[in-house]
Amino acid sequence: MRCRKLTSGLKTWSAYTDLSKMIEDFNEMVPLLELMTNKAMKLRHWQRMSDLTNHDFDVESDSFTLRDILEAPLLQFKDEIEDICISAVKERDIESKLKAVIAEWESHELKFVAFKHRGELLIRGDHLGEIITFLEDSLMVLGSLMSNRYNAPFRTEIQTWVKSLTNTNEIIEQWLTVQSLWIYSKRHSLVETLPSNCQLRQNDSATSTRAGSEL
């Protein structure tokens, strides 16, 4: 501010011009510096800026200081650097949602119940409804992440989880279909054997009666 309040005569000096330009550049860089200090910035983002500006940002070095950043031609690539910093924040949000989906499925497992004396063969219906709801919710979240243009660092992992959960959903549907048909067939075959057993008892009774008459 003091620099701007100097007399008009001093403002014609080259020193004033240089200093004024330095102050203006610094003021323009402040928003960039604020973006670059975001905790969402990872090594990959600093590497992108290094490739862009042809300046080494050794952020892991103990001697790394603000001067190392100011020496880079930041204003020359202002828009690109802003996009890199914004993408870091967007990627952090994607990573957080992906981790939440993965953590959700670390705690879920299918539960089975016994069928007669054959062991635990049938999926528990009361528990399955909750699993299917989580499947649908997770696939919805993953679908949203897949359509996000900032998902590049996590795209492969997202695709893997979409495939795994989609396959899981299809397997459960097929399992339930087979399970219903199997239960029906077992009950149906049991009902069919009942008349035969009754007829067998009637035949045995008739045979006994004839045998008694003959005696």
- Give SS3 for 59: coil
pLDDT for the residue 113: 73
- Give SS3 for 111: coil
* Contact between residue 136 and residue 123 where contact means Cβ atoms under 8 Å apart: no
Q: What ranges make up the beta strands (E) of 78-201?
A: 112-114, 120-123
pLDDT at 6 over 60: no
State the pLDDT confidence band at 173, using cuts at 50, 70 and 90: confident
pLDDT digits (tens, 9 = 90+) for 26-46: 888 899 999 999 999 999 999
* Contact between residue 142 and residue 100 where contact means Cβ atoms under 8 Å apart: no
Give the CA distances from residue 96 to residues 138, 144, 148, 200, in Å, rounded to whole numbers and listed in that order: 13, 13, 14, 69
Q: Which two tokens stand for residue 53?
A: 């500006």
DSSP at 54? T
In whole angstroms, what is the distance from residue 62 CA to residue 58 CA? 9
Cβ-based neighbour number of residue 24 at 10 Å? 12
pLDDT at 206 over 50: no
* Contact between residue 46 and residue 81 where contact means Cβ atoms under 8 Å apart: no
> What is the C-alpha R_g of the chain?
37
- CA contacts within 13 A on the Cβ side of 168: 19
Q: What sign results for the dihedral spanned by CA atoms 150, 46, 92, 89?
A: negative
For 63-72, b/e burial (b = at least 16 CB within 10 A) is eeeeeebeeb
Cβ-based neighbour number of residue 151 at 10 Å? 20
Task: Report which secondary-structure segment, H or E, holds 122.
Answer: strand 120-123
pLDDT for the residue 123: 76
Give 114's strand partners: 120
Q: Is the pTM of this model over 0.75?
A: no
In whole angstroms, what is the distance from residue 179 CA to residue 73 CA? 67
State the pLDDT confidence band at 211, using cuts at 50, 70 and 90: very low
pLDDT at 208 over 80: no
pLDDT digits (tens, 9 = 90+) for 7-21: 565 556 566 666 677
